Structure 1
Amino acid sequence: MKKVLIAIDYNPASEEVVNKGYQLAKTLGAEVCLMHVISNLQYYGIQYPTFMGYDAMNINYDPSFQEEMKGVARDFLQTATANIGDPKVESHIAEGDTADEILDYADQWNASLIVMGTHSHSKLEKILMGTVASSVLENTKVPVFMVPIKEE
């Protein structure tokens, strides 16, 4: 194991994911990269027609919203990386489908291991949407270390 990619989101439990992933990487003598994915924001700007009496999606989209969200993500990832206290830890921000971006960057960065948290979701949510963890597990080329996150 030479490179450990740790995928994090804004959930406070990400701190546990980072700590466990970083400890594992150090035990293995591996490089570390923290990664955060900004989900697709462009659908907020789509002007949908009124359907079934619903027209709430006809909003005035401000393109600066996307830039603002990128700035928030950069600040979040810089803070999370600095919090580790290891100047060798890298970071990466991607934009798009979370699972796809994690898999693409793991391949691009040549990761040996992906570390991520598994959040509790209802059965209905899993059926309708799946989960990022499930998508990564189904499509990965490298091992995945899952840190279980239980909502308290």
Structure 2
Amino acid sequence: MKKVLIGMDYNPSSEQVARKGYELAKKLGAEVCLIHVLADVSYYGVNYPTFMGYEGYNEMQVDLNVISELREVAKDFIKTAARHLNDDSVITHMAEGPTSTAILDYAKKWNADMIVMGTHSHSVLEKVLMGTTASRVLEKTEIPVYMVPIKKD
């Protein structure tokens, strides 16, 4: 394992996913890339508390009609998250499109050996109606996926 791609969504649980993925990558001696996919703009309207050192979404109102501004905010989020790991070798990638497709496409382009993702506790109805990003990635991946379980407290 030489390259580990860690999926980060805009949710405080991503800090746990990033840390677990980063720890695994370091034990394997692998390069790390954090990926964030700009897919559903509704996530960016949620007012979460500060996590991984990033306060940007709390202190400003993002104009969801201005996609270029949203891209810059998303890039700032993923770069700030990477800096929070205190390792200058961690790289980042911001993609756009359907989340699972974007993750799989970049994993292939970057030649990732493993994908790390969190699994959120979605309701049964949500899973039936739209599935989950994790299950879509697992369905179509050609490389190992390390799942970090995230439970709501």
Is the shorter-chain TM-score for this pair beyond 0.5, marking a shared fold?
A: yes
**Which whole-Å CA distance do the structure 2 matches of 1:26 and 1:97 have between them?**
29
Verify: 1:99 aligned to 2:93, yes or no: no
Cα distance in structure 2, aligned partners of 1:141 and 1:40: 25
Give the 3-state SS of the residue equivalent to 2:4 in structure 1.
strand
Equivalent position of 2:119 in the other structure: 118
1:39 counterpart = 2:39: yes
Within the alignment, does 1:27 sit opposite 2:27 as a pair? yes
- Shift in Å, 1:110: 0.3
In the alignment, is the contact (CA less than 8 A) between 2:64 and 2:70 conserved in 1? no
> Residue 68 of structure 1: CA displacement?
1.6
Question: What code does the residue aligned with 2:145 have?
Answer: V
The amino acid across from 1:24 in the alignment is L
Is 1:16 matched up with 2:33? no
Quote the residue 1:56 is aligned against. Answer: none
Output the amino acid matched with 1:142: I
Aligned mates of 1:25, 1:72 — CA distance in 2 = 27
After TM superposition, give the deviation of residue 151 of structure 1 in Å.
1.1
* CA displacement 1:61-101 (0-9 Å, x = unmatched): x8852112111101101110111111111100000000000
Q: Secondary structure at the match of 1:126?
A: helix
Same amino acid, percent of matched pairs: 61
The alignment yields a C-alpha RMSD, in angstroms, of: 1.4
Provide the rounded CA distance (Å) in 1 between the counterparts of 2:106 and 2:127.
Answer: 24
- CA distance in 2: counterparts of 1:76 and 1:102, whole angstroms: 17
- Distance, in Å, in 2 between the alignment partners of 1:83 and 1:11 is 15
SS of the aligned residue for 1:11 comes to: coil
Report the Cα offset of residue 22 of structure 1. 0.3
Moved over 2 A (4+): none
Measure, in 1, the Cα distance between the counterparts of 2:13 and 2:23. Answer: 16
Change (3 A) 1:150 1:63: closer
Structure-2 change in CA distance of 1:17 and 1:40 (3 Å): closer
The equivalent residue for 1:3 is 3
Q: For 2:127, what is the secondary structure of its paired residue?
A: helix
Q: CA deviation at 1:123?
A: 0.6
Aligned to 1:137: 138
1:37 Cα deviation after fit: 0.0
**Which of structures 1 and 2 has the bigger CA Rg?**
1
Structure 2 unmatched ranges of 5 or more: 42-62
The 3-state SS of whatever aligns with 1:4 is: strand
Match of 1:68 in 2: 69
Query: Secondary structure in 2 aligned to 1:146?
Result: strand
